[in-house]
A and B are shown apart, each in its own frame.
Chain A
Amino acid sequence: MLKKWMKIGMVTVMTSLSIGASIAEAAGVLTIGRREDSSTFDPIKTAQNIDFWVFANVYDVLIRVDKSGTKLEPGLAESWEVSDDGLTYTFTMRDAKFSDGSAITAEDAAFSLLRIRDDEGSLWSDSYSVIDTAEATDPKTLVIKLKGPSAPFLSTLAMPGASIISKAGMESLGAETYAESPIASGAFTVKEWRRGDRVILEKNPNFWQADRVSLDGVEWISIPDDNTRMLDVQAGQIDAAIFVPFSRVEELQKDENLEVHLDTSTREDHLLINHEHGELGKKEVREALDYAIDKKAVVDTVTFGLGEIANSYIPKGALYHKDDNLERPYDPEKAKQLLADAGVENLTLDYLVNAGNEVDEQIAVLLQQQLQQAGITVNLQKMDPSQTWDMLVDGDYDLSVMYWTNDILDPDQKTTFVLGHDANMNYMTRYKNDEVKALVAEARLEMDPAKREQMYMDIQTMAKDDVHWIDLYYSPYINVSRKNIEGFYQNPLGRFFLEDTVKNEAE
């Protein structure tokens, strides 16, 4: 009886072993593990990084951001000219083809840009409403007229949402089919999308820089569990994994088969303060909070020393970052003094925490302890992330930690959201300073880079002085790859340069 079962067991194990041996990895296909699967390939219908990062492999844009993340460089537009009044942009398109072999024309570019501005399903209409008209005067020439001058306009063309799609393709396939199996303008085409599991990309032979691409293909594989994803790359079943938790870096660095990448990002974690809530409207109270928080301790415990203390809302490595911005060193006594001077006693604050987010929860407990030292009582309210957003928007909070990564190179986007006093109430903080408001609007229109840089320096100083929020830390993108993978790099805006990635024979 038992023997029979053993036999069956043996046969099962043997067959599974032989299957295992028969599956050989396709040469030159890079497999990358990530937390979630893509949601669409329609560039205008998503706001998620997880989608954007794949768009950069599949679509090209008119103007790209370079590897350093601080300069623009030609993409599908070979060159461009701006009229003196800053209202008319004339782009010359380069000779390039879509994956179906048809030429990429100025007509396609105009179509793509008007679509992100006008389409009902576009999540980015507001960012492109500055476009008045976009016309192809001939197949190689695109003329865009703006409603008003806009210094960040060129930068917005580099955003993955503004990816160039095929007009004819979209019209014949329809949006739903295109979103599933798109006609590519970038380095790779979508060979197959196994929903919930993986996106399989194949080298696009019609890409205008096809010579630059070494990989035969890329597979973006969804492995939601952090532990499993790391084990997958450790066992060599995938070539690379992104979203490495801070806590795993040291262990992975010790593995001689792996290389851990700490690539500069534009991520900043910060503590939002609701300026409309009671004593938080007083500048001294907000200053006291800043003095009471030991950012070094946050960097050391939460990011395992991998982050860096933040001193401005414009992150280090991003355009116009102010390096010597005002910093308030950790000083709980000074915090107490400031509170006393402001006549504030027994300050009690509600701190909104994203439940289930390990890092957010750690920061919350740490800040609660630190603020206690300065005599401030903090009540932690753990909420589901989707719910915290609603509460932040409604102003139903005193403190909360959030983070931001830049979508575009130009600082205007973040500055407008955070300090521009527009519809989102300065990123839910309800911060008010008319001088800052005016300067933000002015900087958007200033076309002289030197003057503009000075304006952003001033904005950073003023905002920091007002304690519009409390800058906590900058942190890198943390990715890991096998040793045989070369050039696996993510720029500060999150773009993976897979066109330059090489997969060597594994030893």
Chain B
Amino acid sequence: MHRYKFVFYRPLQLLPVLFGISVITFILVRMIPGDPARVLLGTRATPTAIARIREQYGLDEPLWRQYFYFLENLAHGEMGKSTLYKIDVLKLVMTRIEPTLMLVLVSVILSILIAVPLSTIAARRQGRIADHAVRIVSTMGIGFPPFWLALMLIIFFSVRLDLFPVSGYGRDPLDKLWHLALPSLTIALSLSAVLTRSLRGAMVQALQSDVATAARARGMPEGIVFWRHVLPNSLVPTINLLAINIGWLIGGTVVVESVFAIPGMGQLLIRAIFSRDYMVVQGVAMVFACATVLINFMADVITVTLDPRIKL
């Protein structure tokens, strides 16, 4: 049972990570030239109006004090107030978490649904045409720029065939899935390409492993050998790869959310950066950081469960 000890102390590591992220985003976002008050008021603002807004949001205070206020708010479970939307950042962020979470979730599931069969086919027919085809397709999948891929999918599936909505995010769960089909396909096409290459390699190795050979020698049919020994053993590196890619995936949602007009965190972040809405940028960065740490933690738990040899 001591192999799972990390489950208890790992969450503690979240604290220094979050502290680091908060300092870095706090400084970075303020280092970009530009002034939230001016963005808010537009080019027609008078200097007095700008000074008044800066004072209202505490932007005229020294940086260290602004950071102190930020921490103080955080201790009270608050993230400050958005200059653009004039409401609490936490409230704003909460309304935007679900679409992004759903997008990431559906994309990952779709990627696995694509990657597992493809790599199985490729690994079991190693060196043959099917194998080469899968490898070529997955290389192409990595190469396509997501915004271009997204537009092509919209033009083909939504405008030409009228199968899926062009953009937006639905109301009830099924409607949401329907709206997320093309956005998650956009992400899945590149993500599954990465996964397929890794999974195929791991499978090829596992197929030739001593365990598999021994099983075959005991007269176990190839299909059962695959399900019982090859697949579980090749999943471990792929799950870790997936976890590492989550950061990239979250970055990808920023582009995909904008193209498909999904009202998620990515879109919120972009508009916040352009408006120099400091508090919102900080809030979104914190949530993204938490998510990344949490997902890697979950990947570790799964890894330890799948492979009894691994200790963390």
Where the two chains meet, the residues of A that have a C-beta atom closer than 8 Å to any C-beta of B are 1-2, 5, 13, 15-17, 19-20, 23, 36-37, 39-40, 42, 45, 47-48, 120-121, 123, 125-126, 176, 179-180, 194-197, 221-225, 227-229, 231-232, 234-235, 237, 383-387, 389-390, 392-393, 402, 417, 422-424, 427-428
Contact = CB atoms under 8 A, between A and B. Distances in A.
A387 B33 contact: yes
Given A387-B34, A417-B44, A20 B56 contact: no
B86 A45 contact: yes
A17 B163 CA distance: 7
A386 B278 CA distance: 13
Contacts of A194: 263
B165 interface: yes
Given A228-B260, A235-B158, 6 more contacts: A42-B86, A120-B52, A120-B56, A123-B40, A225-B261, A237-B167
A422 B260 CA distance: 44
B2 to A, nearest CB: 39
A125 B48 CA distance: 10
B175 interface: yes
13 contacts: A1-B117, A16-B163, A47-B45, A180-B87, A221-B261, A222-B261, A223-B167, A223-B261, A224-B258, A235-B159, A237-B166, A389-B39, A392-B43
B46 A423 contact: yes
Nearest to A126: B46
B85 A40 contact: yes
B95 interface: yes
A195 B96 contact: yes
B35 interface: yes
B174 A384 contact: no
Contacts of B276: 386
Contacts of A417: 44
B33 A234 contact: no
Contacts of A389: 34-35, 38-39, 43
B45 to A, nearest CB: 8
A237 B165 contact: yes
A196 B47 contact: no
Contacts of A1: 117, 120
A465 to B, nearest CB: 25
A47 B41 contact: yes
A101 B259 CA distance: 41
B178 interface: yes
Contacts of A13: 163
B34 A386 contact: yes
Interface stretch (B63-71, B267-275, B295-303): B267-275
Nearest to B271: A36
Interface of B: 32-35, 38-49, 52-53, 56, 84-87, 92, 95-96, 113, 117, 120, 151, 154-155, 158-159, 162-169, 174-175, 177-178, 181, 258-261, 263-264, 267-268, 270-271, 274-276
Given A20-B178, A225-B258, A423-B48, A196 B166 contact: no
Given A195-B96, A390-B38, A423-B48, A231 B163 contact: no
Contacts of A227: 151, 259
A228 B268 CA distance: 18
Nearest to B42: A47
Contacts of A37: 263
A125 B49 contact: yes
A2 B121 CA distance: 9
Contacts of B165: 20, 237
Q: Which 9 A-B pairs have the closest CB atoms?
A: A386-B34, A196-B263, A197-B263, A223-B261, A387-B33, A232-B166, A47-B42, A235-B159, A387-B34
A23 B117 CA distance: 33
Contacts of A17: 163
Contacts of A196: 95-96, 263-264, 267-268
Contacts of B86: 39-40, 42, 45, 121, 176, 179
A74 B42 CA distance: 29
Contacts of A234: 159
B40 A16 contact: no
Given A45-B86, A228-B154, A231-B159, A123 B41 contact: yes
A383 B32 CA distance: 11
B311 to A, nearest CB: 35
B186 to A, nearest CB: 12
A241 to B, nearest CB: 11
A42 to B, nearest CB: 7
Contacts of B169: 197
B85 to A, nearest CB: 5
Nearest to B39: A386
Contacts of B164: 16, 20
A15 to B, nearest CB: 7
B288 to A, nearest CB: 16
B258 A5 contact: no
Given A19-B175, A232-B167, A225 B259 contact: yes
A176 B47 CA distance: 26
Contacts of A385: 274
A225 B148 CA distance: 12
Given A197-B168, A386-B38, A126 B263 contact: no
A23 B174 CA distance: 11
A47 B162 CA distance: 39
Nearest to B55: A120
Given A45-B86, A120-B56, A390 B34 contact: yes
